[in-house]
Structure 1
Amino acid sequence: MKISRQEIIKLHHQYERTELEEYGYQRIVTDHTIRQIADSPQGSFISAFNVPEDHLDLIIENEIDAFKQLGKGFEWKVYSYDNPSNIGARLIHHGLREDDNESFMVLDLNTHIDCVSMGHSSTLIPVRDASGVRKAIDVQRQIWPQTFDEFENSLCQRLEQSPETISMYLVQDSGQTVASGWITYQPNSPFAGLWGGSTLPGYRSRGHYRNLLAARAWEARERGVRYLTIDASEMSHPIVESLGFEKISDTRGYRYEILC
């Protein structure tokens, strides 16, 4: 039975924000936030918050000070249904950098899995070791202007130590790795998250993105996951929407960076 948007928001907030225990992170619960602390200087984030508007600026300042004392940069992710509604503007005021807007979208695998089928032929290769992770991240490096070294190391460690929480895939075209993506799982959560999902510019419009998504969707279904989630960019939004994903809200990250 299909459930409402508000019910999905409630479930997602519970399992993937408030109760989130991300692999490789230290979870710290305060009066107003839940911090997820990474081992590295970057990568930490606030997964959930309950911030009264009349104390908003003070709480933001306290969070910045707490992460600075730890020597960590962090992301404060805001969904369009979060309160207070002016939190994004206040985060910018306090020096956090605004990322691009994305669409938080959900696919109910109980009702829409048949919409997610393989398109054109692709050579899909599951990632099993550090060599595969390197190939997956090399695709990301060619597309996104950021450093992936620490992230690559954390993925290798996660794949080795907690393989039940992540699956990664490569797509090859004419023997070359041209796309990559992964899916993450949280214990006891009805959700699984799609990440990466990137194709080199010269190999787009060949069905690689769709096939990469389909492989992860069917794997999640086989593992008993009910909902597939994605933070869709402007480019990927129409693709995933055509496959049955429904937009639940806008989402935007705000980043505080520590200069090393």
Structure 2
Amino acid sequence: MTDAQRYLQAYDEQLRTDAETPSAVAVMLEGPLRLVTFAGGRGFVTYRDLGGADGDAVRGLVASAIEHFSADASIDRVEWKTRGHDHAPGLHEALVANGFEAGEPESIMIGPLSALAEAGDTPEGVTLRRVETEPDVRAMSAMVDEAFGESVDARQADALVSRLARADGMELWVAEVDGEMVSGGRLEPVPGTDFVGIWGGATLEAHRHRGIYRALTAARARSALAQGKTLVHSDSTDDSRPILERSGLVRVSTTTPYDWTR
């Protein structure tokens, strides 16, 4: 097996389980599907595989998922997480027919955590630190929304504050210039596995291409190594993928989010 094949096998076996949704408020099983409810009115659909379902069965699974989430008035948006290597005949068509819209595909990147820890030195004038207080978490969340070109979503900040209060292992890291947060991201150790996730990385446009994101990634990786983790995974945009590739991660598949809004 190649490195990519070994990593993909580990990804499917270790991450596509309860480990994928540690902060879930509730999880319901519908056949092979995991129908997940998160705080803040967000639903999520994932699975280890679709159990060899044919086109008719796939359409039935999508309809069941929508029925489940539609019945809960507190949920106003749902993400169905697809993977490019899955056998899922007719899934795109079934999702679109039920009101989902496809987002931008991202690369599933996996590799040795030790290499990522050496991703880059901290640029002069930049400070890296963990954030743990509610004001800092809200400031970080707003900055990341801005960096992604999105409106500030207070519900996302609420969910992060709630998770820190539960101490589920998530870490939030930021880079600052002259006391201003300019880049941020999450570290998600996955209990009972070799993996840690690097998520939500974003840098304000005016501070890009200076090595800040690389340094922030390396800091998170060093924190994970201290916890005994050995592998790292991330869903990466075209902006962050080259940074991870230079640090020894490989693209093992793709993932595309499909979003439904009430």
When normalised by structure 2's length, the TM-score is: 0.89
2:160 equivalent among 145, 152, 155: 155
Distance 1:157 1:39 in 2: 9
- The answer to whether the 8 A contact 1:179-1:197 is kept is yes
> Where does residue 256 of structure 1 map in the other structure?
260
Number of the residue aligned with 1:17: 16
Contact 1:78/1:88, CA 8 A, preserved across alignment: no
Q: Within 2, Cα distance between the matches of 1:15 and 1:104?
A: 14
Give the total of aligned pairs: 254
Q: Which residue number corresponds to residue 206 of structure 2?
A: 202
Structure 1 runs, 4 residues or longer, greater than 3 Å off: none
What is the CA-CA distance between 1:184 and the residue it aligns to?
1.1
User: Closer, same or farther in 2 for the Cα pair 1:67/1:114, shift >3 Å?
Assistant: closer
- Alpha-carbon distance, 1:191 to partner: 1.2
8 A Cα contact 1:129 1:160, kept in partner: no
Question: Contact 2:24/2:38 (CA < 8 Å) preserved in 1?
Answer: yes
**Relative to 1, partners in 2 of residues 1:194 and 1:114: Cα closer, same or farther, differing over 3 Å?**
closer
Distance 2:62 2:117 in 1: 44
Match of 1:241 among 233, 238, 245: 245
Give the alignment partner of residue 187 of structure 1, picking from 183, 188, 191. 191
My pick for the range that moved more, 53-62 or 7-16, is 7-16
Are residues 114 and 191 of structure 1, via their aligned partners in 2, closer, same or farther at CA, if it must alter by over 3 Å? closer
**1:131 matches 2:135:** yes
Q: Is the 8 A contact 1:28 1:36 kept in 2?
A: yes
Of 227, 230, 239, 1:226 maps to 230
Q: Which residue of structure 2 aligns with residue 58 of structure 1?
A: 60
Shift of 1:114: 5.9
- Structure 2: give runs of 5+ residues left out of the alignment: none
1:193, distance to aligned residue in structure 2 (A): 1.1
Q: Equivalent residue of 1:165, what SS?
A: coil
Q: Take 2:184 and 2:252, find their aligned partners in 1: how far apart are those partners? A: 25
**Secondary structure at the counterpart of residue 77 of structure 1:** strand
Contact 1:116 1:217 in 2 (8 A): no
Structure 2 residue 29 is matched with structure 1 residue 29: yes
Q: Deviations over 1:162-221 (max 9, x none)?
A: 1x5111111111222111111112221211111121111111111110111000011111
CA contact (8 A) 1:22 1:36 kept: no
What is the CA–CA distance in structure 1 between the aligned matches of 2:174 and 2:138, rounded to whole Å?
A: 11
| 1:117 corresponding residue in structure 2 | 120
The one-character-per-residue Cα deviations of 1:25-67 (angstroms, maximum 9, x if unpaired) are 312222121121123322x211214250131112111111111
Amino acid across the alignment from 1:194: I
AA partner of residue 36 (structure 2) = Q
Q: CA RMSD in A?
A: 2.0
8 A Cα contact 2:40 2:158, kept in partner: no
**Which residues of 2 match residues 64-79 of structure 1 at below 5 A?**
64-71=66-73, 72=75, 73-79=77-83
Look up the equivalent residue of 1:14 and give its one-letter code: E
Which residues of structure 1 form unaligned runs of 5+?
none
Change (3 A) 1:12 1:176: same
